[in-house]
Chain A
Amino acid sequence: MSEALNAGLALFVLALAAWMVVARDTFAAVVGFVAYGLLLTLVWVQLHGVDVALTEGAIGGGLTGAMLVAAAARLRRTEAAARAERPGWPTRAAAALLAGGVTAALAVAVLALPVPAPSLAPETAANMGATGVGNPITGVLLAFRAVDTLLETTVVLLALIGVWSLAPDRVWGGRPGPRHRADPNETLAYLARVLPPIGLVVGVYIFWVGADLPGGKFQGASIIAAMWLLAVMAGLSDAPPISRGWLRLALVGGPLVFIAIGAAGVATAGAFLAYPDGLAKLLIKAIEWALLPSLALTLALILAGVPERPAR
């Protein structure tokens, strides 16, 4: 049963990947991508990588999918012109040959990897006690390899600055995206009233259990961000002007708290990002609590887009 399910999943994933490459219409390809993300989520569940599955669903399929849908909608007008630029058959043949070759080389390399794979999992498990948390993924992300996580939250912030940098000078400091209006009796407005309370609870729950069970701040934050965007799309709320002081503070608060706790480790535990004995779980939780709002806000504002309207 499980074998048949896995084979079916693999076939579906491959078919959707091929569809994305072959589809001439941007929107059709994006739809394929979102479906592909959902299927990948199932693949990760089958591989017992529930944390990865949650991330793939929330960020790979969800957030990225929403971004691509918005981009495809904007590209509608230039779609015909882009399609006219189709390269000649020699280029396409060369591309097919080379891309096929790289794929084949990768496939051979992956099949040649040693079995069982060398892994740090046993060592991670042996050292989990020192971190006080039960989910090994959280242990890796916030203790053993905490610096990567710290820097990833900074990458997201840099991406937001990149989005903002595209604003016209005259509306710098203004509100991102258009002001959405929706008929209050329509489905969208209805969903925007019904879903956020549920979504918020789910988001915070996924975040909360992350210490000991699959879940965590990135996944929770993207669900919360999605709920807020839903309200914005339905015209029930509006994105704040990007010049607001509280907004700026909220965006950098998470990374700054992370760095501050890391720096405190120099004095109390002898190294940057080290936690003193017994306090590890508390400090990890503190970092996660500080990161959640910053991440949710950053992701939401990246999706909300370029400032387009003056603050007033």
Chain B
Amino acid sequence: MAAVMAPFVGALAAFALGGRNAQRVAMLTILAGLGIVAAAAHSGGGLVYLLGGWAPPLGIALRADGLALAMMLAVAVVVLGIGVYACAGFKTPPGEREARAPFVFWILLLAIWGSLNLVFVSGDLFTLYVALELLTFAAVPLVALDGSAETLRSALRYMLYALAGSVFYLLGTMLTYGVYGTLDITLLGARVAANPVTVTAVALMTVGLLAKTALFPLHLWLPPAHAGAPPAASAVLSGLVIKGSWFLVIRVWFDVFPGVVTMPSAQLLAGLGAAAIIVANVVALRQERLKLLVAYSTVAQIGYLFLMFPLAFDAGAAEIGRGGALTGGLLQAISHATAKAAMFMAAGLAYGALGHDRIAALAGVARALPLTVLTFALAGVALMGLPPSGAYVAKKLFFDAAGSSGQWWWELVLDTGGLLTASYVVLVLAHALVRTDAPIAPRKPVPRIAELAALALAIASLALGFVADGALGLDALWGKLTLSDLWSAVLVLAGGAAIAAAFARDLPQIFGGAGRFAFGRPLRAAAVAVGGAFAGADGILRRWPVASLALLAAAFAFGAALLAG
């Protein structure tokens, strides 16, 4: 409970004290909160806390299971990294008592943190709804922090679509209470049965949460919102906020309705994830601006987070169960949280130094900001799922689950996704590594502490593999990496380079010529046409009318897939 309340108390105190104190209070709260979470994680999972001493169904229980503790710990570390990074960018300027953007940022950072912790531990469907609302209302203003008309439009898009998602979730919750007379997750898990009303409730809740998570094709709001926010805010939004509603999908599927969800519905969920991986990765490769590329990379990575659902489905028992696949999904999420936060932070530093983030004009950055480019590269390695990153261990767990359940097609999706991710990371690095005749002079001094904070998160994402390897007893990393692992890593990078050469908008000289030579003009033309078609499809899907229709259609599709079991 302290882990949930501490950030909120900090946010209220920061609000009351205002000005420079908001930042001080926030940093103190972050350190204290990290301590609380670490202590809770140390004492182990399985903790149940009855709020007010009232037991469910009348009262509300908080349950800190292993999933919740792992997520809370990861989020606390990422919040600390973002907090350190933001100390430079969101400082109240000297001579002013209080400035708008820092004041809003520090309070909302704490509020988002508290809401996420609540999402992780709450054992009650309505309290979870409140937590989601807190999360949305804290996240939306971050999008428009720079105050331009364009980001305001992105923020409004985000808010309207996310609120539509909330309504769907709330409708599902209401129907669930109407049938079972309780909102407590454990009590519901024991009572639920597959019937039309329950199926309607699951479909509504799932689709509402997917809209808030921006799973393809419900992602219209994400690219402009995440790319337009200030870098520290983008890191919060992309690394952390979307994990809240995603985690709730896990709660709903694994803990509330494990026997109601069906194999076709799990396949549908992962199918949308696969579509996200393929389409959004290609669209990311076609972007002109670095921050939009990173935002589309998030859309793709969200897809990975949903691949575990069919892999965790136990066909024999006809229900979804905890196991290696769920652990893999969790690892994937934590790996993405750290790596994507680091990547947005690195992109923000490059933007600050250059005054723009056009990928084709990144030449010379590697020389001016070596640490930042290294951060981007390490975060990229983590996103690709190369060893020793957390995503690599996650991938191994997915492969095991896919192998034992005979679902080979998800292995194919994972490998394709890794290649596509490698392609845009290689592309950006190839541009950044180009030497310029004269060293470029940063427009603004780049704070070293911010560079180090981003680097630390990227390294954390890589180190996560070792931590998970040890904690899970997999013993897959230390001394177990063979030449063939190295070989496949080289293959991924080389394949990525080839894909980048075929699809990219602007090719840097260092391998542009090679790409043309290897592929020939017709192949390059075909790849550009495919890329253009994907970008066009993405543009159509991100129109308001289409995205709204997709939301309703997805509800129907899930309803049908749930009944089809």
CB within 8 Å of B: which residues of A?
A: 87, 91, 94-95, 98-99, 101-102, 105-106, 108-110, 112-114, 117-120, 123-124, 127, 143-148, 151-152, 154-155, 157-159, 161-162, 164-169, 172-173, 243, 245, 248-249, 251-252, 255-256, 259, 262-263, 265, 269-275
Contact = CB atoms under 8 A, between A and B. Distances in A.
B512 to A, nearest CB: 41
Q: Which 5 A-B pairs have the closest CB atoms?
A: A118-B181, A98-B552, A274-B53, A165-B141, A273-B52
Given A101-B552, A143-B52, A252 B12 contact: yes
A165 B155 CA distance: 12
B58 A248 contact: no
A109 B100 contact: no
Contacts of A109: 175, 196-197, 200-201
Nearest to A108: B196
Interface stretch (B127-135, B271-279, B498-506): B127-135
B58 A91 contact: no
Contacts of B196: 108-109, 112
Contacts of A255: 8, 12
A164 B145 CA distance: 11
B343 interface: no
Contacts of B141: 161-162, 165
Contacts of A112: 195-197
A91 B131 contact: no
A113 B179 contact: yes
A114 B545 contact: no
Nearest to B551: A98
19 contacts: A94-B549, A98-B549, A102-B555, A108-B196, A113-B178, A117-B181, A144-B52, A145-B59, A148-B127, A154-B111, A154-B134, A155-B133, A157-B15, A166-B144, A248-B17, A251-B16, A271-B51, A272-B5, A272-B52
B408 interface: no
A114 B111 contact: no
Given A109-B197, A155-B134, A248-B17, 13 more contacts: A95-B548, A95-B549, A99-B552, A106-B171, A108-B196, A109-B196, A145-B59, A145-B60, A151-B118, A158-B134, A165-B100, A248-B16, A275-B52
A270 B54 CA distance: 11
Interface string B533-565: 000000000000110110011011001000000
Interface string B319-333: 000000000000000
Contacts of B16: 248-249, 251-252, 256
Nearest to B57: A120
B556 A158 contact: no
Nearest to A263: B5
A146 B131 CA distance: 14
Contacts of A271: 49-53
B201 to A, nearest CB: 8
B51 A147 contact: yes
* Range for the number of chain B residues in contact with chain A: 35 or more
Contacts of A274: 52-53
Contacts of B559: 105
B130 A148 contact: yes
B40 to A, nearest CB: 14
Contacts of A110: 175, 178
Contacts of B99: 169, 172
A155 B131 CA distance: 9
Interface of B, secondary structure class, is helix
Contacts of A91: 545-546, 549
Nearest to A171: B100
Interface of B: 1, 5, 8-9, 11-13, 15-18, 49-54, 57-60, 97-101, 103-104, 107-108, 111, 118, 126-127, 130-131, 133-134, 137-138, 140-141, 144-145, 147, 152, 171, 175, 178-182, 195-197, 200-201, 545-546, 548-549, 552-553, 555-556, 559
B180 to A, nearest CB: 6
Contacts of B18: 243, 245, 248
A155 B137 contact: yes
B130 A155 contact: yes
Contacts of A123: 57-58
Contacts of A158: 108, 111, 134, 137-138
Contacts of A273: 51-52
Given A108-B196, A117-B178, A243 B97 contact: yes
Contact of A269 (B13, B49, B53, B152): B53
Nearest to B201: A109
A270 B1 CA distance: 13
Contact of A119 (B50, B59, B181): B181
Contact of A120 (B175, B179, B181): B181
Nearest to A142: B52
Contact of A173 (B97, B130, B137, B555): B97
A118 B179 contact: yes
A127 B52 CA distance: 13
A24 to B, nearest CB: 17
A262 B52 CA distance: 8
A155 B51 CA distance: 19
A101 B556 contact: yes
A309 to B, nearest CB: 15
A114 B127 CA distance: 24
A269 B53 CA distance: 8
A45 to B, nearest CB: 21
A172 B98 contact: yes
B294 to A, nearest CB: 24
A176 to B, nearest CB: 14
B109 to A, nearest CB: 12
Given A108-B196, A120-B182, A165 B144 contact: yes
B199 to A, nearest CB: 9
